[in-house]
């Protein structure tokens, strides 16, 4: 098909023919014929050009937290027997105008790499692709496009702040440690009681003094390791959230969950839209929660009372952390009634000043309810630190999975930025001339 320049050239040829007939000028006929032949030749050249190009796309890394760098690396290889022409690559990126890359002519069997950054400022699911290759003639009058690669997805998890987990609370553990990744044995190491021997018990646990006294085998019953349990309730109602407040609420919930995962607690996420992850621990469970938080949107209010009734019948115990934005006083009162079912209750409430920068409200919080207010003067991390103490210095045990290559790339980018190099220089592979690329917002 003709490009915009090609269509203009064709119209100019027609206009020259009309002008030549009006003025009877042979020179205008020659000029019109030459311009028309140029357009037709460009179209035939592009139409009969045959190229064999292998294109692959990789995300480094495919899952990140909001604000962390991620990039797309495109590898182009000439699989044909002739030198390839100039290639224009366009890779779609949801929410932007996409990335445009230029790859120079490649000899048979040669390859080139191009890369570009992805916008990871906000959580969500980014769709990358499909990747199209565009061939044009030397004059840019005609082009042909083909799809070289399908679509990929980048999961941007919510931003996570490093926090200290809540203090351990009491509560019944109906799973008896079955979901804990470190509970490798049937019992713990703390002595609990003596019981009669049962076939199959480890003879090393026989308590010989008691056996001699009772004239029958007695076995030490060790107490099962107790697990911390935390339920995080996230208010995603559209009536209590704006776009800005919802991001703060989701980020706070993700930070609290990450802190509990660092201590290897049993974590449960409940949201007012009806989602319930159930209690579990381990990397796969936390990653599933983060993926849900990455895509959750504001919902209607119909499920709020239903979720509260479900929590009121809960028997899991442990700590309950509620993260809300502009919750009304009756809603806070309903939430405070859940204290009877849990070992502790913490309500994290974001006031309007925390996201619009205005002055804090004059609302006086009832001390009995136990609401932790987050304002512009007291951000979430500061308010949480006042409640639980400073965060641990150790790195969290759960984070978005990265490969060794991605970690090496991130280190190289940090060194490149420290040396004052450009963005593209920091993304380019050492020893290879990079192709140009950009993402247009």
**Residue ranges per domain, the chain?**
4-48, 53-157, 190-223, 229-388
Q: Specify the residue for token string 């704006």.
A: 242
- Which phi and psi angles does 196 have, rounded to 5°? -70, 150
Cβ-based burial of 367 (10 A; exposed 0-12, middle 13-18, buried ≥19): exposed
Q: In what order do the strands lie in the sheet with 266-271?
A: 266-271, 229-234, 319-324, 344-350, 371-374
What are the backbone dihedrals phi and psi of residue 82, each rounded to the nearest 5 degrees, phi first? Answer: -120, 165
- Distance between CA 113 and CA 109 in Å, rounded? 14
> Do β-strands 87-93 and 143-149 pair in parallel, antiparallel, or remain unpaired?
unpaired
Selection from 335, 341, 347 nearest residue 172 by Cα: 341
Q: Is residue 306 within 8 Å of residue 274, measured between CB atoms? A: yes
What's residue 55's pLDDT? 92
The model's pTM: 0.72
- Give me the CATH code for the 229-388 domain, please: 3.40.50.410
CA–chain centroid gap for 361, Å, is 33
**pLDDT for position 318:** 85
pLDDT truncated to tens, each residue of the chain (441 aa)?
888 999 999 999 999 999 999 998 899 999 999 999 999 999 898 888 888 999 999 999 999 999 999 999 999 999 988 898 888 999 999 989 999 998 989 999 999 998 999 999 999 999 999 999 988 888 889 988 889 889 999 999 999 999 998 877 655 444 444 444 444 444 444 555 687 887 777 888 888 988 998 888 988 866 544 568 899 999 999 999 999 999 999 999 999 999 999 988 899 999 999 999 998 888 999 999 999 999 999 998 888 999 999 898 876 678 999 999 988 888 888 898 888 888 889 999 999 999 987 776 654 444 445 688 999 999 999 999 988 877 654 444 466 655 444 444 444 444 444 343 333 232 233 333 334 344 444
Q: How many other C-beta atoms are found inside a 10 Å radius of the C-beta of residue 143?
A: 18
Instruction: Return the pLDDT at 178.
Output: 46
Query: Which structure tokens are listed for 7?
Result: 């269509």
Label the pairing between strands 87-93 and 71-78.
unpaired
CATH number of 53-157: 2.60.40.10
Burial annotation 102-117 (CB, 10 A radius, 16+ → b, else e): ebeebeeeeebbbbbb
């Amino acid at each position: 098909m003709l490009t915009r320049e090609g269509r203009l050239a064709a119209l100019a040829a027609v206009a020259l023919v009309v002008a030549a007939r009006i003025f009877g000028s042979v020179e205008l006929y020659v000029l019109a014929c030459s311009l028309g032949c140029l357009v037709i030749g460009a179209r035939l050249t592009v139409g009969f050009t045959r190229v064999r190009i292998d294109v692959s796309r990789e995300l480094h890394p495919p899952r990140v937290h909001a604000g962390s760098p991620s990039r797309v690396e495109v590898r182009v290889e000439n699989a044909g027997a002739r030198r390839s022409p100039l290639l224009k690559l366009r890779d779609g990126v949801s929410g932007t105008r996409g990335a445009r890359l230029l790859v120079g002519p490649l000899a048979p069997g040669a390859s080139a790499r191009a890369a570009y950054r992805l916008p990871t400022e906000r959580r969500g699911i980014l769709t990358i692709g499909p990747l199209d290759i565009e061939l044009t003639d030397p004059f840019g009058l005609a082009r042909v496009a083909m799809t070289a690669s399908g679509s990929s997805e980048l999961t941007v998890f919510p931003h996570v702040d490093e926090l200290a987990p809540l203090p351990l609370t009491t509560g019944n553990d109906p799973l008896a440690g079955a979901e804990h990744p470190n509970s490798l044995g049937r019992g713990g190491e703390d002595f609990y009681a003596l019981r009669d021997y049962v076939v199959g018990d480890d003879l090393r646990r026989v308590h010989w003094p008691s056996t001699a006294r009772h004239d029958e085998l007695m076995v030490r019953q060790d107490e099962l390791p107790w697990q911390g349990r935390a339920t995080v309730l996230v208010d995603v109602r559209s009536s209590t959230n704006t776009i800005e407040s919802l991001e703060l609420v989701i980020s706070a919930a993700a930070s609290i969950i990450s802190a509990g995962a660092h201590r290897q607690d049993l974590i449960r996420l409940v949201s007012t839209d009806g989602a319930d992850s159930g209690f579990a621990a381990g990397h796969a469970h936390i990653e599933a929660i983060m993926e849900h938080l990455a895509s959750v949107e504001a919902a209607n209010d119909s499920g709020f009372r239903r979720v509260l009734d479900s929590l009121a019948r809960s028997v899991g115990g442990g700590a309950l952390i509620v993260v809300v934005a502009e919750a009304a006083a009756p809603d806070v009162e309903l939430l405070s009634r859940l204290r009877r079912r849990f070992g502790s209750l913490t309500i994290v409430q974001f006031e309007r000043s925390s996201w619009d920068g205005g002055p804090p409200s004059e609302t006086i919080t009832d001390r009995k309810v136990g609401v932790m207010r987050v304002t512009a003067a007291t951000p979430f991390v500061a308010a949480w630190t006042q409640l639980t103490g400073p965060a641990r210095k150790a790195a969290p045990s759960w984070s978005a999975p990265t490969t060794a290559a991605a970690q090496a790339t991130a280190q190289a980018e940090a060194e490149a930025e420290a040396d004052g190099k450009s963005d593209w220089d920091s993304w380019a592979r050492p020893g290879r001339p990079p192709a140009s690329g950009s993402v247009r917002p």
